Structure 1
Amino acid sequence: MSDNNNPSSNTAQQKLKNFFSLDLSSLKFLNSLRKSSRQFAVIGLGRFGRAVSETLYNMGYDVLGADVDEKLVAQALTDKIATNAIRLDCTEANALKEAGIFELDTVIIAIGNYLEESIITTLNVKEAGVKYIVAKASSETHGKLLKKVGADLVVYPEHDAGCELAYTLTKPGILDRFELDPDNSIVEVCIPPEFDGKTLAEVKLRSQYGLNVLAVGNDDKFIINPPPQYVLTQGLSMVVIGSNKDINRL
């Protein structure tokens, strides 16, 4: 079962980075999630579930980890990647209830490579009334089934990682990408040497490339919706939106 707008604020930067990696249809769900969620359950402590649990725990959230594999549960406790970790069969609704999982704000079902267990667990959690459900999918069909049985957000970590690697290897100037559809994307790109010292108005991204600039900055500071007179500097990056064809020309 185990598997794997304050322009100068870091908050604005983080929201922008989150926007790259998530489906637009999930933004409403995520906005409500950020307002209220403080307790999480992670079911499946393989590579993906372990990473999610450890990150949440290190951020200060209460995390209950669960897996049918006793070794993975013991490892989670030893490595202190969760507030608590227990062994259970997640396909059994009574076991989930007794563990207190139904009482938590958010349940992350990280068992994407086991379709039947993944779908049954999602259904059990949904029927119990858990407020927010995130599920890992191993295929598009799997993801559709998870949506149908109640997942609020479906993630495809292997697919996303593969796409990111391909773009990194072939388009080194592109730092991050979010595909709106097969033809259009939002990307974070390195500011090319040809743009150094020029204003946004001078480089004419909209008229010459058909692209709109959403933000300019670096890891420490992003300026959202920069004005036309903003001077570009090599070494910084800019976030643009447009067609893939125009982005590749840039």
Structure 2
Amino acid sequence: MNGEGIAESKLVNLSSLSFFQNLRTTRTKQFAVIGLGRFGRAVASTLHKQGYDVLCVDADEEKVAQILSDRIATHARQIDSTQPAALREAGIFEQDTVIVAIGNYVQESIITTLNVKEGGVPHVVAKASSEIHMKLLKKVGADHVVFPEHEMGCTLARSLTRPGILDYFELDPENSIVEVIVPEQFDGKTIAELRLRSSYGLNLLAVSDDGRFEINPPPGKRLEKGTAMVVIGSNQNISRLPV
């Protein structure tokens, strides 16, 4: 199976971990999305398809109407999110998690994030448009900050320089979990023979087998060129893997 086939059929998908796993671990039942641009709309649509209650708000009446017309939110309202009273009236403060997706308007984004946290929402996710914006959002209490443009840029650069990497989940600036195509140098060798930990400083988490992933495979498992394996380790050690 080639890399493209693996990406289409695999049951483990790392690409969504950087955002949606953070939401899953909170055991959230009710979400609100503030700001219905491309990012906010995509988040609302995905959560709604997964069966969650989603309340959407935006200052733009047309965007609110479109969300309702497309039926990708449970409720949608037009409000000014910089006004705490409007947020309270809309029911934002009653939500488990609020996603502030106003990335392109820094002042509104920061004020809204502050309002939502002061309103008692336990988990606030905010979209940043720059490094400074990210720092400010954390200062006013955002529990989790995402920087989609930065993440997309990093993903593109990795795909161009390391085409064998199918998926990438950054644990912190120095360490990651990656899904890579098994290189030709590993073809036919067992996990024990490869000695990934001593040779590369990496731990093998899973290998693909018939479109599925086998977690914690036994040492005698033989790898096949063109299938996939998932490893964890430092970014420096990951870059040492054969292309």
Could you say which TM-score interval applies, normalised by the shorter chain?
A: 0.7 to 0.9
Secondary structure of the 1:215 match is strand
What residue number does 1:160 align with? 151
CA distance in 2, matches of 1:219, 1:118: 45
Return the offset for 1:134. Answer: 0.6
What residue number does 1:223 align with? 214
Deviation string 1:70-128 (CA, Å, 9 cap, x unpaired) is: 11111111111111211110000111111111111111000011111111111111111
What residue number does 1:68 align with? 59
CA distance in 2, matches of 1:182, 1:107: 26
What residue number does 2:6 align with? none
What residue number does 1:205 align with? 196
One of 174, 178, 199 as aligned partner of 2:165 = 174
Deviation string 1:11-42 (CA, Å, 9 cap, x unpaired) is: xx35x6555x26xxx96x852x1x2x111110
Secondary structure of the 1:142 match is helix
What residue number does 2:82 align with? 91
Is the 2:15–2:169 contact (alpha carbons within 8 Å) kept by the matching residues of 1?
A: no
Give the partner amino acid of 1:102: F
Give the partner amino acid of 2:60: D
What residue number does 1:52 align with? 43
Is the 2:196–2:203 contact (alpha carbons within 8 Å) kept by the matching residues of 1?
A: yes
* CA pair 119-73 structure 1, distance change in 2 beyond 3 A: same
CA distance in 2, matches of 1:206, 1:236: 20
1:1-250 residue pairs with structure 2 within 5 A? 13=12, 18-19=16-17, 21=18, 31=25, 33=26, 35=27, 37-217=28-208, 220-250=211-241
Secondary structure of the 1:228 match is coil
RMSD: 2.4
CA distance in 2, matches of 1:218, 1:102: 46
CA distance in 2, matches of 1:63, 1:147: 24
Is the 2:44–2:73 contact (alpha carbons within 8 Å) kept by the matching residues of 1?
A: yes
Alignment coverage as a number of residue pairs: 232
- Stretches of structure 2 lacking an aligned partner (at least 5 in a row): 1-9
Identity of paired residues, percent? 64
Output the TM-score relative to the length of structure 2.
0.86
Secondary structure of the 1:165 match is helix
Secondary structure of the 2:237 match is helix
Runs of 4+ in 1 over 6 A off after TM superposition: none
Deviation string 1:225-246 (CA, Å, 9 cap, x unpaired) is: 2222122123321112233343
CA distance in 2, matches of 1:233, 1:55: 34
